Amino acid sequence: MAVLSQIKYDAIYQAIQELYEKENYPIQKLCDIAGIQRSSYYKWRNRQANANALFNTKLIPLIKEAYQERDGILGYRQMTIKLNREYNLTLNYKRIYRLMKILHIQSVCRKKRKTYIHSTPEITAENILNREFSANNFGEKWLTDVTEMKYGIGGKAYLSAILDLGDKSIVAFVLGHSNNNELVFKTFDIAHKEYPDASPLFHSDRGFQYTSKRFHKKLVDAGMTQSMSRVSRCIDNGPMEAFWGMMKSEMYYLKKFSSYDDLEDAICEYIEYYNNHRYQKRLNCMTPLEYRQYLLNTAA
C-alpha cells in the first residue's frame, strides 16, 4: 500500500510541475487544489533534481564514449537511440540534447551539393516508383546511383551502390576509377548474384549507364521492372540521395584520403557499420540487417 501511495503522490507532484512549467500556474494554488502541502511538493522536487543530477553524471561518460567511437558523427537523436539500444535505457531526445549542449559536443556532419552529368539516353522509363519510398519486404524496391569522391592530389573515384527500400540496407556497392557502364553493371551483377530470387522495381536517375540498352536488358533478364526519376528531379530518388549525404557527412568529409586504397577501406568500413551497427529510428531503432530479419520473421 505504501508503494501505491507513493506512486499516487509522484503522479500528483509531476502534474503540478508540468502545469507550473507549461502554463505558469502558481505552485501554492496547484497544491491547494491537489490537497497537499507546498513544502511536500518542494521536498519531492528537490529529491527529483538530485536523482536527475546523479543519473546525468552516469550518462555523461557514455555520451562521450559513443561520440568518440564514431569520430563525432552522432547527433543527439542518433545518440539517444544508441544509448537506449545498447544500455537498455528509455532516454528521451531532450535530455541527451541538453547534456550534449552542456558538454559542447555536436555532430560534425555537414552537407555538400551534388553535381550532375547530363546525357542523351538510349532508353528511358517512366517514374513508376513515383516517390513511394515505403516497402513491406526486402527485395521489393531497389534504388541505385553513382557518386564521386576525391583522394590524394586530384584523384577521383566513383562509388556505385544499390539500396533496398524495405530494410534500407546497402545491397551491393562497387568503387571504381571511372564513372562508366562497367561500374554500374558490376554493382548490379553482385546484387543479382547475391539475391537471385529478387525481382524488385529498380529505380535510378537518367544517368547514361542506366539508360543504356545493355543495362535495360540486364533488368529484363532478371525479371525486374525499370523506373527512372524525372529530368532534374533528384527528389525522385530521395532515399538514395539521403544515403550519400549521410555517408559523406559521417565519414568522407571528416577525413583526408591520401590514396584510392585508403578511400576504399573507409567506404567498406562505413557500409559495414551502416548495415550492421547504425540504428535508425524509422526502422524501429534497429539496424538495416536487424530490420530485414524482423521483416522475414513477420512474414513467416
User: CA 103 to CA 60: how far, in whole Å?
Assistant: 8
The mean per-residue pLDDT over the stretch 156-165 comes to 96
Residue 185 has pLDDT above 60, yes or no: yes
In this predicted structure, the answer to whether residue 5 has a pLDDT above a threshold of 60 is: no
* 268 Cβ contact partners less than 8 Å away, ≥ 6 residues apart: none
Q: Residue 4 pLDDT more than 50?
A: no
pLDDT over 80 at 164, yes or no: yes
Q: What does the pLDDT average to over 246-273?
A: 94
Say yes or no to pLDDT of 247 above 90.
yes
Q: 27 or 199: whose pLDDT is higher? A: 199
* Contacts for 128 with CB less than 8 Å, ≥ 6 apart: 201, 203, 225, 226, 227
Contact 15, 45 (CB under 8 A): no
Give how far Cα 143 sits from Cα of 36, 101, 178, Å. Answer: 60, 37, 21
What is the average pLDDT score of the chain? 86
**Residue of higher predicted confidence among 72 and 97:** 97
- The Cα–Cα gap between 204 and 144 comes to 5
Distance CA 201, CA 133 (A): 11
Q: What is the mean pLDDT of residues 237-255?
A: 91
pLDDT mean over 78-106: 86
pTM for this predicted structure: 0.70
Q: What are 106-127's pLDDT values in tens digits? A: 777 655 455 445 555 567 788 9
φ and ψ at 143, to 5 degrees? -115, 150
Set of cell numbers at residue 116? 550532375
Q: What angle do CA 134, 135, 136 make, to 5 degrees?
A: 130
From the number of C-beta atoms within 10 Å of its C-beta (0-12, 13-18, 19+), residue 53 rates as exposed
CA angle 267, 269, 273 (to 5 degrees): 115
Q: CB–CB of 294/284 below 8 Å?
A: yes
Residues 175, 176, 181, 186: is their CA dihedral positive or negative?
A: negative
Query: Which of 23-27, 96-100, 142-146 reaches the highest mean pLDDT?
Result: 142-146
pLDDT at 35: 86
User: Would the pLDDT of 180 be above 90?
Assistant: yes
Cα–Cα dist 42/48, whole Å: 10
Is residue 135 scored above 70 in pLDDT?
A: yes
Other CB atoms within 10 Å distance of the CB of residue 288: 23
Per residue in 37-56, pLDDT (tens digit) is 888 888 877 776 666 667 77
pLDDT in tens, 8-30: 566 777 787 888 877 788 888 88
